[in-house]
């Protein structure tokens, strides 16, 4: 393995704070096991959650970060699933107010394989400003504008691939170590 001066890491944002009332994803049995021991959030069209993250001190100044959604379905439907991320962020240490909302949409066809771990990433990227920036987000499943995926769609995790100025993986997607 070649040692790199710069690499990629993840700003992790767990899906834990659900909206209230209509538009709230429901906890549903997850995975091929019939035990029902593992539950995750099942998103219908219009369901959303609120999440937040903190930019670590290894963030490479001036670099772009790429938000993405980890998700899966319980069936074999190949119709696309579309996610909308509404993002606001602000530098810490009393430097600035939160930005106006930035809307990022990502979409990918279902794999056709039940329980396949999907990662759908924005390709444009955005600046995370600097360490101690807070990133607040609403993640919502929205219609793809055509025939939506009819399987139960589970939103599992959101994170940003970002460049680090310290040792990490040299690539942000597989093969991570090439």
pLDDT at residue 20, as a whole number = 60
Tokens describing residue 135: 């990133």
* 3-state SS class at 40: strand
Residue pLDDT tens, the chain, 178 long: 454 566 667 677 665 556 666 688 888 999 998 788 899 999 999 999 999 898 887 888 889 999 999 999 999 999 999 999 999 999 988 889 999 999 999 999 999 999 999 999 999 999 988 888 899 999 999 999 999 999 999 999 999 998 887 766 677 677 755 7
pLDDT at residue 89, as a whole number = 95
Helical H segments across 4-130, by residue range = none
Q: Is the dihedral angle over the CA atoms 62, 15, 122, 88 positive or is it negative? A: negative
pLDDT at residue 165, as a whole number = 77
- Kind of pairing between the strands at 26-29 and 80-90: unpaired
pLDDT at residue 1, as a whole number = 46
pLDDT at residue 36, as a whole number = 80
**Cβ neighbours around 148 below 10 Å, total:** 18
């Amino acid at each position: 393995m070649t040692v790199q001066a710069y690499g990629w890491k993840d700003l992790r944002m767990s899906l834990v704070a659900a909206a209230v009332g209509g538009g709230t994803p429901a906890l549903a049995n997850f995975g091929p096991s019939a035990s029902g021991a593992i539950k995750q959030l099942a998103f219908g069209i219009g369901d959303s959650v609120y999440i937040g993250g903190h930019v670590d001190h290894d963030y490479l100044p001036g670099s772009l970060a790429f938000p993405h959604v980890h998700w899966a379905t319980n069936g074999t439907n190949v119709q696309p699933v579309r996610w909308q991320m509404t993002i606001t962020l602000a530098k810490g240490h009393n430097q600035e107010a939160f930005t106006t909302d930035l809307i990022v949409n990502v979409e990918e066809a279902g794999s056709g394989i039940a329980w396949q771990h999907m990662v759908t990433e924005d390709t444009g990227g955005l600046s995370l400003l600097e360490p101690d920036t807070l990133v607040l987000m609403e993640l919502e499943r929205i219609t793809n504008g055509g025939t939506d995926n009819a399987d139960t769609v589970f939103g599992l995790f959101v994170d940003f691939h970002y460049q680090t100025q310290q040792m990490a993986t040299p690539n942000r997607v597989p093969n991570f170590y090439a």
